[in-house]
Homo-oligomer: A and B are copies of this chain.
């Protein structure tokens, strides 16, 4: 089929009417589906149910004798540090384990930098003009943290090949106000890209105009393969060290999408100087994280192989959902020149681009027909997609049948809106 932008007006008109008719049919079905957020589905959570019961009544001591029921231990217990250090590819002394939210550690890291500055810096970032590079489309909650602290966000494009590393190098190298960059280096949210070795090396070694430049690196999907040959991410923590920039990186991770989304563990790897500074701020706000939940995770997963095995089971559940989205989009939209989409090897999202200026309208139409999608623009700083074209599809939570329905409807919405747009 020819691309819609090369069609005669009459033909487009016919397609528009046809699409509108199908949209109305969908609307009459009164669907009520929610594809807004990257939440695991119950079947994924069920896989970890043994974590609810894996501690026995006298099992509360860490291997170093710490009573996990009591106060203390800002670092986390040693066996949890060892396990998740291996998971992140860092040393056990390079990591601290936190509560149930890695967003919380990220927020705290930025907050501490604003209040006190970072090692090697000149003082509180709040006293300076601060900009963060925000590869976009990206993760809305990273951007919210910047917005909350009044940090100016600079969009760097996540294009068809992923991160625009040349642009990053140019901005980091020339502007001393650029103090940070948000990165999701593997199966990026939402585009699914994994950074190439060259990107990793350049991030680690590029000259920075700010002496206290930091990579806020959220390796959220490190083990989240979808069952095909997994992407390989070069060890960015080691790369920073090797480049002589050990303080440059905060590396975050969590088990939110491994064990329980609401009751997982979060962690951060960083240089000793960075960890010490972070803990000095953390000590103001807590006496220590929940160490019993660390023990649960260690008892349940045992080792890295246990985590990997667990993630294979998850992939079995969610891969058919990703496949269904891609298959239906292909069936309905391929070759029409009105949409493109990612087909990721892992992570939690499919990134979906429509014609410029159409994303908000597509999301609106879908909502009116009962399918809630992530707000258009959410994947960009300040919630504003400059091209109004990106939509984030989160296929994990709904059932396979719901995913199918939602994607069929989404396709129709795209046709309706695209035809209108092309008709002018």
Measured CB to CB, the residues of A under 8 A from B are 37, 39-40, 42, 45, 48-50, 52-53, 55-60, 67-73, 99-101, 103-104, 107-108, 111, 115, 141, 144-145, 148-149, 256, 260-263, 281, 283-293
Contact = CB atoms under 8 A, between A and B. Distances in A.
Contact of A262 (B52, B55, B70): B70
Contacts of A60: 45, 49, 52
Interface residue SS majority, chain A: loop
B101 A285 contact: yes
Interface centre among A59, A60, A70, A260 (most CB of B within 10 A): A70
Nearest to A111: B111
A95 to B, nearest CB: 19
A103 B285 CA distance: 6
Contacts of A57: 49-50, 52-53
Q: How many copies does the complex hold?
A: 2
Given A49-B58, A59-B52, A71 B107 contact: no
B148 A70 contact: no
Contacts of A100: 99, 286, 289-290
A308 to B, nearest CB: 21
Contacts of A141: 284, 287
Contacts of A115: 148-149
Given A99-B99, A111-B111, A69 B144 contact: no
B148 A281 contact: yes
B53 A67 contact: no
Nearest to A112: B148
8 contacts: A52-B56, A70-B261, A73-B262, A99-B99, A100-B290, A101-B287, A262-B288, A263-B290
Interface centre among A39, A73, A107, A262 (most CB of B within 10 A): A262
Interface centre among A50, A71, A287 (most CB of B within 10 A): A71
A71 B288 contact: no
B290 A290 contact: yes
Nearest to A147: B284
Contacts of A99: 99-100, 290
